[in-house]
Structure 1
Amino acid sequence: MEFYSQDEVQHILQVAIARQAQSSGTVEHLTRAQLLEIAEELGISPGELHEAEIEWRAQSGEMQERQAFDQARKGRFQRRVTRYLIVNGFLAGCALLASGGASIMGVPYIALFWGMFLALDGWNTYGLTGDRYEDAFRRWQHRHRLKRSVHSLLTRWLKP
């Protein structure tokens, strides 16, 4: 007798449902009625299915928020790298012009000092695991929700 873990069962059923949908001509989407029918065949009650849908929506929403958070962090880091390159390039150009092309004076020291902080910021931006990431995500999530609440409140108040 062969046994399967829950993850294996879930994956096998996903593949089977996808194949069934492909053969019936509804390649991308199943209707709610089809979902209920499949659940009934598997012995899943409509109440259990409803609870599973609620949990899935919550997980899906958090996944989208995490993707938005990651994009925001990466965008912020890219803007900082761009700023670093522009400012240090400008400083090097000014130093070369001021010295008649002979030297760039203290520009490497400024670039190294600033670059150290930029490297640490990159480490934090692309280190996407652990407690520090979770803490940063929760803070961002709280700020993001607060901004949406304030925006919707102001929209209601200012609406004629």
Structure 2
Amino acid sequence: MTNSENNKPIRLYSQEDIQQILHLAIARQVDNDDREFSYEQLLEIANELEIAPESLKIAETDWLSKQSETQQRLAFDEFRQKRFQKRLGNYAIFNGFLIFVDFIGGFTISWSLYPLSFFILIIGLEAWNIFNAKGEDYEIAFQKWNRRHMMKKSLNNLVNKFLKAAIG
């Protein structure tokens, strides 16, 4: 061996770099085979990487928690968009009625443009707040919706248990 072969640069990777490389490799493998991994395969991979089963279990629990929160956020975003669409429809019907009354009154459209402009401003502000889903305001709205959603769920469970007990 020559001295230049012995002096190959040593590659060093941070933990984050390793995670990203392995993530890309696993993603590429899944794309090639288009399959899913079983829990046993996950344990096997973790074992090969010398990851303790306890650490894997904690990581899986954290991942499931994040998945649940992601699903809740998607449901919240869908709720906000449907509410916006309903309001947009209400504004359109109301303004359409005002324009119709204005037009019937003198075959021109004049005064109805003022409320229409006001409602367009309101719709624009609502659209900005709904579709700009970042920041503290979004987080506060999500937490409020999530608490309300959880309370409804708890109340429904309580009522169902009561009804089962009363019927059964």
Q: TM > 0.5 between the two?
A: yes
Sort the Cα spacing of 1:38 and 1:91 in 2 relative to 1 into closer, same or farther, 3 A: same
User: Map of 1:47-126 to 2, 5 A cutoff?
Assistant: 47-99=54-106, 101=107, 103-126=108-131
Instruction: Tell me which residue corresponds to 2:7.
Output: none
User: How far, CA to CA, are the matches of 1:20 and 1:115 in structure 2?
Assistant: 50
Sort the Cα spacing of 1:30 and 1:92 in 2 relative to 1 into closer, same or farther, 3 A: same
AA partner of residue 135 (structure 1): I
Sort the Cα spacing of 1:158 and 1:33 in 2 relative to 1 into closer, same or farther, 3 A: same
* C-alpha deviation, 1:22, in angstroms: 6.4
User: How far, CA to CA, are the matches of 2:11 and 2:53 in structure 1?
Assistant: 29
User: How far, CA to CA, are the matches of 2:46 and 2:68 in structure 1?
Assistant: 23
Instruction: Tell me which residue corresponds to 2:135.
Output: 130
AA partner of residue 84 (structure 2): F
TM-align CA RMSD:
1.8
Is 1:143 the equivalent of 2:148? yes
- SS of the equivalent of 1:154 reads helix
* C-alpha deviation, 1:28, in angstroms: 2.3
* Structure 2 unaligned blocks of 5 or more: 1-9
AA partner of residue 152 (structure 2): K
Is 1:10 the equivalent of 2:15? no
AA partner of residue 139 (structure 2): E
Instruction: Tell me which residue corresponds to 1:40.
Output: 47
> What are the Cα deviations for residues 5-29 of structure 1, in whole angstroms up to 9, with x where unaligned?
4443223213333455567x5x321
User: What is the aligned residue count?
Assistant: 156
AA partner of residue 97 (structure 2): F
- SS of the equivalent of 2:26 reads helix
